[in-house]
Structure 1
Amino acid sequence: MRLDPVYFSMLFIGVSFACYSPSLNSLQDQAHLSAVVIEGKVQSTPGNASAEPYRVNVKVLDVWPRNSGGLEREQLVTVGEFGSEDPCTKVKKNHKYIFFMDPTDEPLVFRASFAPLDASGKNLKKDVGKILCEDCGKLHVACCGCGLACL
């Protein structure tokens, strides 16, 4: 079977953009559409990476009050249901990520609402903080940690 060049280019484009880093607008969408957003460090991953469901244990490093889901720093949570078919969602042990999650019926177990983003980039955490800042746009004396200039 021979693929038409148009179909081949569509296939190539679909594959090449499958693991793109989100723009600020899509980052905004991910942050606002997720019930809980945290920065976390992966503590353990499944022994069999193709196992269903793919779940990882994550130590909470930072939370944003607007989307904390009641979580606090240093808690251990489980994040799962990434879908094993997507190689972009595989995470590495001892690496930091921004996790976009929704709660499940189990305590401290969350479903990934979007693929986690590698938090090693300098500006990603700052961008998420600006998006989820509760006091942004208001004049305030004490700095809220949002990264904006405070008076």
Structure 2
Amino acid sequence: MLDSDYPGQVCSIARALEVVGERWTLLILRDALLGPCRFDDLVESLGVTRTVLSNRLAKLVEHGLLERRRYQVRPERFEYLPTPKALELLPVLGGLMAWGDRHYPHPAGPPRRIVHRHCGGGVTPRYSCDRCGSTPAPAEVHTELNPALAPGAPRH
């Protein structure tokens, strides 16, 4: 296994990658940002092993990106909710999504678009609303599925 740190690098990107740079981590955050996520739902949605998911979730909770909240006592079960710190990653994930749409497009078009809740405008890769021109706060946006995608197509 590769080390998860970047010794000797004085770089904010390297420090951020120590937290969010492991395989599956950004996809876990993507799902959490789309709504409250329960452990079993994440396993099914992502196709990740339970062990890997447990490790990544523990790290995201430890670093304050997700809040672990019990929703059932017997058996004990948890859901993982994004914190304000995680919401700050929305522009980063939106930019990565736009880059992927541009360079690795789906034949039916982008699978999702980011929408400004206030006016319904699309949010651009520079994180401004293409309709009203504002820079929406993370809580003021959501994503919508592309209706051109087949019903059985992956939803991410």
Q: TM-score, normalised by structure 1?
A: 0.28
Please tell me whether Structure 1 or Structure 2 has the larger radius of gyration of its CA atoms. Answer: 1
- When you count strand as a share of all residues, which structure comes out higher? 1
Q: RCO higher in 1 or 2 (8 Å CA, sep ≥ 6)?
A: 1
- When you count helix as a share of all residues, which structure comes out higher? 2
